[in-house]
Amino acid sequence: MNKMLLGMLALLLVAVSVQAQHADAKAAARALTEFNVDRSGSKEKLKEAVVAILPDPTGEDVADPRFYILKGEILGTLANEIITVKETGLGSLEDYPQVERLAVRGYVAFETALEKHVQAITSPSYLFQDVVNGIQVSQGHLANFGVDAFNAQDYGSAYLNLSSLLASHVILRKAGAVSLLDDANTMNYQKYVTALAALNNNMPEAAKPLFEDLYKANYDNPAIYEALYTIKSNGVDADLETAYQYLKTGREKYPEEVSLLFAEINHFLKLNKLDELSDMLKMAINREPDNPTLYITLGGVYDNLYQREFAAGDSDRARNYFDEAVNYYNQSLEKDPTNFDALYSIGALYYNRAANLTMALSELSSDNSTAGMEKYKVMEGEVFAAFDEALPYFQKAERINPNSVETLLALKEIYSRNNETQISNAIEMRLANVQRGGKNETAFFNE
């Protein structure tokens, strides 16, 4: 049944297109008048008017502002009918013709009428007021269609409608006429929603001036600062220093805003500024204590600090950072025992410790003194102990994701070091399968 209806609709659209080739402004005006006489009983007349007025004008109509005013009125009437159906639930949208960019095309028709009126020396002065009235009515349509599109996450359509609404305000102000956006708060909110639509539609250059206007106006919304940071920190002209100033200002103004805190955390992660991150992440954990990702991230910060201090030869600080990393990774596992990232991270922490100690061990191999050999033996025990600590975490991680290349590599190496050749070879085969683009359907380490 649905396929048949779609087919009938396609035929109707073809028929409409064919009819439009022979329609004109007089036919459109006639149909609109008949529709206005009986709106509930003559919906077909509105369709006729729309079909007649949509094609590009020819002949004298090209320069006649009255043609574009009529076009704007017809499209505006259709827009109004659609809005009424949506708001009241009375009637059906299928009773009306479907016109892409309806509200925008209605507004553009009046905008074009204004251009033609200014260009035409003999154009009657009363047409100017008709155009102004039409743009004022169009503002409501643009707002309605823009908000509907935004709520439906059709951000491209939302931006098209809402940016046209902003443009209509400029025209009305120049004409000395009343606009929906005369109130400063209404205007700022409209700029904000329009900018969000642009940003969500991957149009940062369109969003940027609107957010900058709101920033200068001290508009009370923390999302402005995060948006400007996002825009300024990405793209070919990225400027992290300038971007961070927006974020810093926002954090100072809205210290309790979690989204800005997370944006700042990501900023310092991007710059690898580890020392600044620990306090921020602890603050974030206090705000969202059940978020395992925060514990993993903080564990990762301490993991990196451990690596840094170990490489610098500060064994005491390295050990403290190592213990903190273990602590926060384990706290994440307390929140979610099956979290792959936490399991893999703590396994990698012990594995990397074993690898670091192995490098130090090689330096001791040339010391054949009694003290040197004893030191070598102790450190060798630490190496094997670290690998043993890593193993169960990698096993659990493989159980959750049997296709993680990093996990399989670590497992293969550990079993190879332990001289468990059969297991090492089996894991190597599974690893090769994944590297060739295959998939391991089941885990090797089942419960």
- Split at pLDDT 50, 70, 90, the class of 25 is confident
Cα separation, 361 vs 375, whole angstroms = 9
Highest mean pLDDT among 110-124, 137-151, 275-289, 293-307: 137-151
199: tokens are 């940003």
How much is the pLDDT for 435? 93
- Split at pLDDT 50, 70, 90, the class of 382 is confident
Question: Among 25-29, 168-172, 381-385, 435-439, where is mean pLDDT lowest?
Answer: 381-385
Cα separation, 244 vs 271, whole angstroms = 11
CA atoms within 13 A on the CB side of 394: 25
Q: Is residue 264 within 8 Å of residue 311, measured between CB atoms?
A: no
Q: Tokens 């974020």 appear where? A: 247
**pLDDT (mean) for 137-149:** 97
Q: What is the pLDDT of residues 298-336, one digit of tens each?
A: 999 999 999 889 888 888 999 999 999 999 999 999 999
Q: Is residue 286 part of a domain?
A: no
* 31: containing domain: 17-182
Cα separation, 248 vs 215, whole angstroms = 13
**Of 132, 152, 182, which one is at a domain's C-terminal end?**
182
Q: Is residue 101 part of a domain?
A: yes
The count of structural domains within the chain is: 2
How much is the pLDDT for 237? 78
How much is the pLDDT for 59? 80
- Is 90 exceeded by the pLDDT of residue 238? no
Q: Tokens 């251009």 appear where? A: 115
Q: Is residue 96 part of a domain?
A: yes
Nearest to 164 by CA among 188, 140, 142: 142
**pLDDT (mean) for 162-172:** 97
Q: Is residue 434 within 8 Å of residue 406, measured between CB atoms?
A: no
Q: Is residue 300 part of a domain?
A: no
Of all residues in the chain, the percent with pLDDT exceeding 90 is 66
Q: Is residue 218 part of a domain?
A: no
How much is the pLDDT for 365? 63
Q: Is residue 222 within 8 Å of residue 264, measured between CB atoms?
A: no
Instruction: Spell out the SS3 assignment of 298-357.
Output: HHHHHHHHHHHHHHHCCHHHHHHHHHHHHHHHHHHHHHCCCCHHHHHHHHHHHHHHHHHH
In the three-class reduction of DSSP (H, G, I as helix; E, B as strand; rest coil), residue 358 is classed as: helix
Instruction: Please state the φ and ψ torsions of residue 13, each to the nearest 5 degrees.
Output: -65, -40
Work out the number of other CB atoms within 10 angstroms of the CB of residue 371.
8
**Of 182, 199, 230, which one is at a domain's C-terminal end?**
182
**Of 140, 158, 182, which one is at a domain's C-terminal end?**
182
Q: Is residue 190 part of a domain?
A: no
Question: How far apart, in Å, are the Cα atoms of 234 and each of 231, 257, 267, 270, 276?
Answer: 6, 22, 12, 12, 22
Nearest to 379 by CA among 400, 364, 395: 364
Work out the number of other CB atoms within 10 angstroms of the CB of residue 441.
7
Q: Is residue 8 part of a domain?
A: no
Q: What is the pLDDT of residues 107-120, one digit of tens each?
A: 999 999 999 998 88
- Is 60 exceeded by the pLDDT of residue 15? no
Cα separation, 116 vs 132, whole angstroms = 14
CATH at residue 419: 1.25.40
- Is 90 exceeded by the pLDDT of residue 360? no
Q: Is residue 11 part of a domain?
A: no
Question: How far apart, in Å, are the Cα atoms of 346 and each of 196, 356, 358, 391, 393?
Answer: 39, 15, 18, 10, 7
Kindly report whether the global pTM for this prediction surpasses the value 0.85: no
